[in-house]
């Protein structure tokens, strides 16, 4: 196990009725609030009215930034920064899924910066501070509610890049599983795939002697598999939604499940470049790419893939070679994604070989990606070609 530091400053308010705590949670930071939300789901579900009521109760002045896109765009972030400056906003409230929370974080770090916020994403400037922000989560998937990451698309340049900063952690996040009852089946599937993928990025590691972290990872994967189909088929199953929500939050909250382990993240970097050009949902891209990444790298450390197959997918190892067990685990992953309705090929989303070279090149813009196996441009191209 490697030495590590771990800090996660986000307060979590989890469970039915926690929305009632929203007003008092905000008033500690200020009452001039920017409310950030997406394409209208919060109005359709009635959540918007409940939020405004909470804000009224603390006498908040409210400005709004509606219309944050799935795969949120830097153009929208810039609008939010301008509103914050004009209105002298002192607290940002994100109400939505990962896209809305990520946009709110980018706004928060962009306000005190004199240059253009995109500089942070191109690694041209370091984040020095942020406006305080909080979130009300409506879709479990990204873990953005309890981490310091933000992933933003520059649509004009077809780039999708990430930042991570201690300044970008939400001060608090309200996680009421009931707010996810209205998430459509396909987005529930995307959330399941994303959560599992976050675990894969940490679990497939070259770091030795990390049994606790490995079991934490495996327990999240098993919990997601046990609850995923329940939530897809019975959207208002509270227990299933609650277990998925907690799993997603734990899967990517600043690395708690993989402290002291080297992480990979290559597949996420590749997926971001697919979304940057084709604007597909993040979970769809991961479902297509991850089993192919696994096939490409499993020989680098076959014992971890054997453990994954046996402990997570309950593959019977009797009479099988290590290679057969590892491949059976990878196939079980693909079969599960297919069973819950996720795509398995880029062609399922009308993506052909045309931009493969460009995506591979962009993935390695800042250097080779991954650590389980370090991937260069040619490797990335091979994984994308396997996925066509």
Site string for ligand NZQ, 223-262 (x = CB under 6 A): -----------------------------x----------
How far apart, in whole angstroms, are the C-alpha atoms of residue 243 and residue 241?
6
How far apart, in whole angstroms, are the C-alpha atoms of residue 65 and residue 84?
10
Contact call for residues 154 and 162 (beta carbons, < 8 A): no
What DSSP letter does each residue of 33-81 carry, written as one string? EEEEE-SSHHHHTTHHHHHHHHHHHTT-EEEEE--PPSS-BHHHHHHHH
Instruction: Select from 23, 80, 143, 370 the one that contacts ligand NZQ (CB under 6 A).
Output: 143
Q: Is 151 in the site for ligand NZQ (CB under 6 A)?
A: yes
Torsion angle defined by CA atoms of residues 273, 275, 276 and 277, in that order, rounded to the nearest 10 degrees: 100
State which residue, 100 or 346, has the beta carbon closest to ligand NZQ.
100
Instruction: Select from 13, 36, 91, 102 the one that contacts ligand NZQ (CB under 6 A).
Output: 102
How far apart, in whole angstroms, are the C-alpha atoms of residue 105 and residue 353?
34
| Nearest to 173, CA basis, from 44, 12, 306, 328 | 12
How far apart, in whole angstroms, are the C-alpha atoms of residue 176 and residue 350?
36
Look at residue 266 and give the partner it binds from Zn ion, ligand NZQ, none, a contact being a CB closer than 5 to 8 Å depending on partner kind. Answer: none
Residues 27-56, interacting with ligand NZQ (CB under 6 A)? 38-42, 45
Q: Is 194 in the site for Zn ion (CB under 5 A)?
A: yes
- We find the least distance from the C-beta atom of residue 66 to ligand NZQ, in angstroms, to be 9
- We find the least distance from the C-beta atom of residue 140 to ligand NZQ, in angstroms, to be 8
- We find the least distance from the C-beta atom of residue 272 to Zn ion, in angstroms, to be 9
| Nearest to 94, CA basis, from 175, 189, 194 | 175
Q: Is 170 in the site for ligand NZQ (CB under 6 A)?
A: no
Residue numbers of the site for ligand NZQ (CB under 6 A)?
A: 38-42, 45, 70-71, 96-100, 102, 138-139, 141-144, 147, 149-151, 179-180, 182-183, 187, 190-191, 194, 252, 268, 282
Residue numbers of the site for Zn ion (CB under 5 A)?
A: 194
């Amino acid at each position: 196990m490697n030495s590590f530091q771990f800090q996660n400053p986000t307060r979590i308010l989890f469970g039915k009725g926690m929305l009632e705590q929203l007003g008092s949670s905000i008033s500690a930071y200020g009452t001039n609030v920017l409310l950030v939300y997406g394409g209208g789901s919060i109005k359709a579900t009635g959540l918007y009215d409940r939020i405004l009521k909470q804000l009224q109760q603390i006498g908040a002045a409210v400005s709004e930034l509606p219309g944050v896109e799935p795969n949120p765009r830097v153009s929208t972030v810039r609008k939010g920064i301008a509103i914050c400056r004009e209105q002298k906003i002192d607290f940002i409230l994100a109400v939505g899924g990962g896209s809305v929370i990520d946009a709110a974080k980018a706004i928060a770090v962009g306000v005190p910066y004199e240059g253009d916020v995109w500089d942070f994403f191109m690694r041209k400037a370091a984040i020095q501070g942020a406006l305080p922000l909080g979130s009300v989560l409506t879709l479990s998937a990204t873990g953005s509610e309890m981490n310091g990451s933000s992933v933003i698309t520059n649509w004009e340049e077809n780039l999708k890049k990430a930042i991570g900063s201690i300044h970008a952690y939400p001060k608090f996040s309200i996680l009421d599983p009931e707010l996810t009852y209205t998430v459509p089946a396909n987005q529930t599937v995307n959330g399941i795939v994303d959560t599992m993928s976050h675990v894969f990025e940490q679990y497939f590691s070259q770091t030795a002697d990390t049994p606790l972290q490995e079991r934490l990872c495996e327990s999240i994967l098993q919990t997601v598999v046990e609850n995923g189909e329940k939530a897809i088929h019975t959207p208002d199953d509270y227990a299933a939604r609650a277990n998925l929500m907690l799993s997603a939050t734990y899967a990517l909250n600043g690395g708690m499940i993989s402290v002291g382990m080297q992480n990979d993240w290559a597949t996420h970097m590749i997926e971001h470049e697919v979304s940057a050009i084709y604007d597909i949902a993040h979970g769809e891209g991961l479902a297509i790419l991850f089993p192919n990444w696994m096939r490409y790298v499993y020989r680098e450390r076959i014992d971890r893939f054997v453990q994954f197959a046996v402990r997570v997918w309950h593959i019977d190892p009797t009479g099988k070679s290590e290679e057969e067990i590892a491949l059976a685990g990878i196939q079980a992953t693909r079969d599960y994604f297919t069973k819950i309705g996720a795509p398995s090929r880029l062609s399922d989303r009308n993506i052909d070989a045309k931009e493969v070279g460009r995506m591979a090149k962009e993935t390695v813009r800042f250097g080779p990606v991954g650590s389980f196996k370090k991937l260069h441009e040619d490797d990335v191209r091979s994984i994308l070609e396997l996925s066509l």
